[in-house]
Structure 1
Amino acid sequence: MDIVDAWMQHPTERMLAQDWLTSLRRWVGTEEVSTALPLERTIAAMDAGGVSTGLISAWYAPEGPLVSNDEVADFVAQYPDRLVGVASVDLREPMNAVRELRRAVGERGLRALRVVPWVWGLPPNDRRYYPLYAECVELGIPFCTQVGHTGPLRTSETGRPIPYLDDVALEFPELTIVAGHIGYPWTAEMIALATKYPNVHIDTSAYTVRRYPPELVTYLRTNGRHKVLFGTNYPMITAEKALSDLTTLDLDPETTNLFLSANARRVFGL
């Protein structure tokens, strides 16, 4: 079975050291992580979960690049048949952010942009994102973001789909948007946006199948068959764990294929 994981990261030592990633440090099995995870461990986790292709993202924060675009590109270069790179940028300097995105895509081969709103305390309709949306359209790449409540101890308000992501989809109809983490507890709002806008999609990262909200499962089985992408938020959750109850979704073979790989391959141009 072909599986594409739409939301992963291969963490660096800098990322592992962040206070707001204590849950990730617990997953690693130590309170203080002094070295980065070997890339082979990420590939092994993909193998264990049957993931053929993983989209791994850079992470930029006010503290600086926790996983830089060049590091992501270097990871991809080691496993070009397994990994696809996703860029990130520093929102504080919009023009430099645009230039960095252009470089990451044009020179390093990254295939999308991800910005996590709670990291910056800025919802996606903030003016600092808008030059990036225009550049994503010009480059023909998706914009990936987080919706729903925030796991780390940061504000969840930036993850509300309506009005924040609604404004973006309305003002940038050519922009392909992939909203990760389902949107709970505003799942119905996120489904409404994915239904309303042709280019808005949902990924299931940060949730195991057992924890999918019932309204998302209904949407996935019906008119959302082409709108929902599988994701894990690895290394927080492995694909093996996330998909352990896949049969309980009662999906037909075509919908299963769309959910696990075909939708992501179409959206990201894989």
Structure 2
Amino acid sequence: MDIVDAWMQHPTVRFARHEMLESLRRWTGMEVPEQEPPVEGTVAAMDAAGVRHGLLSAWHGPEGSLISNDEVAEIVTARPDRFSGLATVDLRRPMDAVRELRRAVRDLGFVGLRVVPWLWGLPPNDRHYYPLYAECVQLGVPFCTQVGHTGPLRSSETGRPIPYLDDVALDFPELVIVAGHIGYPWTEEMIALTRKYPNVYIDTSAYTIKRYPPELVRYLRSDGTHKVLFGSNFPMISPDKALRDIDALELDESGRELFLAGNARRVFGLDSAQGTTSAR
């Protein structure tokens, strides 16, 4: 079966060593590499789970670049069959951020923007984001973000779906929003937003199937068929571990295909974007 992982990182050493991941390293046993890990290791982890394509996130925080757009682009260029890129920007410099997003999409072929609000301490309805939302609409790419509590030792407040993402979806009805990490403990709020807004989606990254909240499983089996995307959050959770117990979801063939690949391919335009460097 075709599987697309909506949230992955190919970690640099500086990303893996960052203090923000200390609690995740403790929970997951994730090791800090002594040298830059080879791409083959990430591809092997995908192959072990049958993941055909992964969306690789770049990361930029207040202290600087952790995984740069150009580092992600190098991987995507080498393996366009296996990866697409999600851009990062410096949120404190809105106009530079807009220009960098434009470069990442038009020149590097990236298929979306990801900003993690807890990293900046700014919720998604903060004014720093708004020029980026307008540019995402102009470029025709989704805005990807994190919802729910934070595993890293940072405040979880920025991950509340209501009012923060609710405000954004109201102000930018054309903006496609993919909210990663399910939204727990506010999962019902996140589901409510996906029902309220046609362009709002959830991805399941950072959770194994056994840890999906019951309300998300019910949604997946019913009217959420077209609204939920599979994600792992590799390397914190391997795709194989994230997909374990997939049969327990009791999805029919159509629902399973949409959850594992179809929704991601549609939302990110993957079938048209793969193999190009300037699709937009």
1:33 positional shift: 3.6
Q: Deviations over 1:195-221 (max 9, x none)?
A: 000000000000001000000000010
Answer yes or no: is the 8 Å Cα contact 1:187–1:213 preserved in 2. Answer: yes
Answer yes or no: is the 8 Å Cα contact 1:25–1:33 preserved in 2. Answer: no
How many residues end up aligned between the 2 structures? 269
Partner of 2:4: 4
1:248 positional shift: 0.6
How is 1:165-180 mapped onto 2 (pairs within 5 angstroms)? Answer: 165-180=165-180
Answer yes or no: is the 8 Å Cα contact 1:182–1:190 preserved in 2. Answer: yes
How is 1:45-194 mapped onto 2 (pairs within 5 angstroms)? Answer: 45-194=45-194
- Give the SS at the match of 2:111: coil
Partner of 1:210: 210
How is 1:183-262 mapped onto 2 (pairs within 5 angstroms)? Answer: 183-262=183-262
Answer yes or no: is the 8 Å Cα contact 1:16–1:36 preserved in 2. Answer: no
Aligned equivalents of 2:91, 2:30: Cα separation in 1: 32
Answer yes or no: is the 8 Å Cα contact 2:30–2:235 preserved in 1. Answer: no
Runs (4+) off by over 6 Å: none
Report the AA paired with residue 156 of structure 1: S
Aligned equivalents of 1:199, 1:16: Cα separation in 2: 32
Aligned-pair identity (%):
70
TM-score by length of 2: 0.94
5+ residue gaps, structure 2, are 271-280
Answer yes or no: is the 8 Å Cα contact 2:62–2:90 preserved in 1. Answer: yes
5+ residue gaps, structure 1, are none
Report the AA paired with residue 263 of structure 1: N
Answer yes or no: is the 8 Å Cα contact 2:23–2:151 preserved in 1. Answer: no
1:239 positional shift: 1.1
Aligned equivalents of 2:135, 2:234: Cα separation in 1: 27
Answer yes or no: is the 8 Å Cα contact 2:191–2:216 preserved in 1. Answer: yes
Aligned equivalents of 2:220, 2:30: Cα separation in 1: 34
1:14 positional shift: 1.2
1:16 positional shift: 1.2
How much is the aligned-residue C-alpha RMSD, in angstroms?
A: 1.1
